[in-house]
Structure 1
Amino acid sequence: MTENELSYRIIGSALELHRKIGPGLLESAYENALAFDLRKAGFDVQQQVPMPFLYKEVKMDVGYRIDLWVNNKVIIEIKSVENLAPVHFSQLLTYLKLSGLKLGLLMNFNTKSLKEGIHRIVNDL
């Protein structure tokens, strides 16, 4: 399954989740619910994956964590905030660069319609 096909399925699951429970919960609630749904659909989902920072060939574990990593292909960064800030987009792009992956999804569940809160971020490698 390509990254695009995978992201299409992930977005479908996220939209269904948001329709059922709506906005207003903590990020951890959305993360766990989405991970549950994706696993139930047969995907390999890792949660809170440590993302070390490599600086001058020294690996530093500085506490960065990827919310969801699906099929070792797509990173999902989950937010539940009033408005996404530029730093949220930069954070996901940095995770993509550090991991060597191409596609990430930034999802803000604190929106009336989740379609407004989903952003695809592509790492040009």
Structure 2
Amino acid sequence: MYEDEGYRLMGAAFEVHNRIGYGLSEEVYQQCLEIELELQGIPFEAKQEIRLHYRGRAIEKRYIPDLRVFDAVVVELKAVAELTPDHEAQLFNYLRIARQPVGYLINFGQKGAVQWKRFILSDLHHC
């Protein structure tokens, strides 16, 4: 499910890491990845709010994933020493609320390599 799209996304992430390395702020990686996605012709939306609805009414809490690529894959970026279960939970929340089945958690904070995880949400429920 969206494997080719994920391959292209991760190629762009690896290119960013190869050019600027690790240890910078998440905002820097966000901006660089946006530039790289554009240069590679990968369609994306950055920081687009998604809303949770309950019984036909929007709740006030706002959710803003870092990226959505190919109008289908939700991406959350980090620049931390290690990904945690809280980071995974954040991405799962975005997937459920956006009603998208595929997400990537990408961490630029580890020395030596980009840390990443691909998630598939198979139990989308109506919110």
Q: Scaled by the length of structure 2, what TM-score is found?
A: 0.89
Instruction: State the 1:48 CA deviation.
Output: 0.5
Query: For 1:113, what is the secondary structure of its paired residue?
Result: coil
Per the alignment, residue 9 of structure 1 pairs with: 8
Deviation, 1:63, is 2.7
Where structure 2 has 5 or more consecutive residues not aligned to the other structure, the ranges are none
- Once residues 21 and 43 of structure 1 are traced to their aligned partners in structure 2, the CA distance between those partners, rounded to angstroms, is 20
> What aligned pairs does 1:32-47 form with structure 2 within 5 A after superposition?
32-47=31-46
1:19 counterpart residue number: 18
CA contact (8 A) 1:108 1:114 kept: no
Instruction: Give, in angstroms, the shift of residue 56 of structure 1.
Output: 3.6
Runs of 4+, deviation exceeding 6 Å: none
Query: SS of the residue aligned with 1:63?
Result: strand
Q: Contact (CA 8 Å) 1:78, 1:106: kept in 2 or not?
A: yes
User: Which is helix-richer, 1 or 2?
Assistant: 1
Amino acid of the residue matched to residue 7 of structure 1?
G
2:83 paired residue number = 84
- Secondary structure, counterpart of 1:90 in structure 2: helix
The number of residues matched between the two structures is 123
